[in-house]
Structure 1
Amino acid sequence: MNLLGQLGGAAAAETPICSRKGCRGDAQWQLLWNNPKIHTPGRRKIWLACDGHREWLQDYLVQRSLWKETLPLEESATPESSA
């Protein structure tokens, strides 16, 4: 069910977009992270990044000891989360 489509709003994006606030660029990277205070050790949250914001988002996660790995987007079929 697509409520946005029914209400005349924009349909969901077909191309994954960057998670950086305000960026609408096509995502090229997945930044896998985990907050050990609230997630189990094996859990990986995913932020998507365009080429221009990959380093910024990765640095943000590294500074907070949350970053685990950065992979090209095509290495995973479906990201768990982009929030």
Structure 2
Amino acid sequence: MSDEKPICSAKGCRSAAVWVLVWNNPKLHTPDRRKTWVACEEHREHLSGFLGMRGFLKDVVALAEWERSAEPPTAGDPAAGGSAADR
């Protein structure tokens, strides 16, 4: 895993991203396909509006929450199917 922080998807912006904008273009993608843009605090509303007015925006999630949900469960995590005592 890279230590690089995601950069805002807004054109010309080099700020750190703090939001994930989840979207889908129904003319190009299957209904279950999800694409993502990332946004800094300043550009969240603009990018959300751009996707929203086209009917593409599906969800806006804090980057930290998105990253946590993408992490595989650890051995001690009940979601992993057991606890450290099971080893």
Q: Which structure's CA Rg is the greater one?
A: 2
SS for the counterpart of 2:47 is helix
Aligned to 2:61: 71
List alignment gaps of at least 5 residues for structure 2: 71-87
Q: Which residue of 1 aligns with 2:19?
A: 29
> Helix, strand or coil for the counterpart of 1:62?
helix
- The alignment's C-alpha RMSD in Å is 1.5
Q: Distance in 1 between matches of 2:22 and 2:58?
A: 6
TM-score normalised over the length of structure 1: 0.75
SS in 2 for 1:52: coil
Deviation at 1:13, TM superposition (A): 7.8
In the TM superposition, what are the counterparts of 1:7-22 in structure 2 within 5 Å? 14-22=4-12
Gaps of 5+ in 1: 1-11, 79-83
Residue 43 (structure 2) pairs with residue 53 (structure 1): yes
Q: Does 1:62 align with 2:62?
A: no
SS at match of 1:15: coil
Higher relative contact order (CA 8 A, sep 6+): 1
Q: Distance in 2 between matches of 1:65 and 1:18?
A: 21
Equivalent pairs counted in the alignment come to 67
Q: Distance in 2 between matches of 1:66 and 1:22?
A: 22
Match status 1:43 vs 2:33: yes
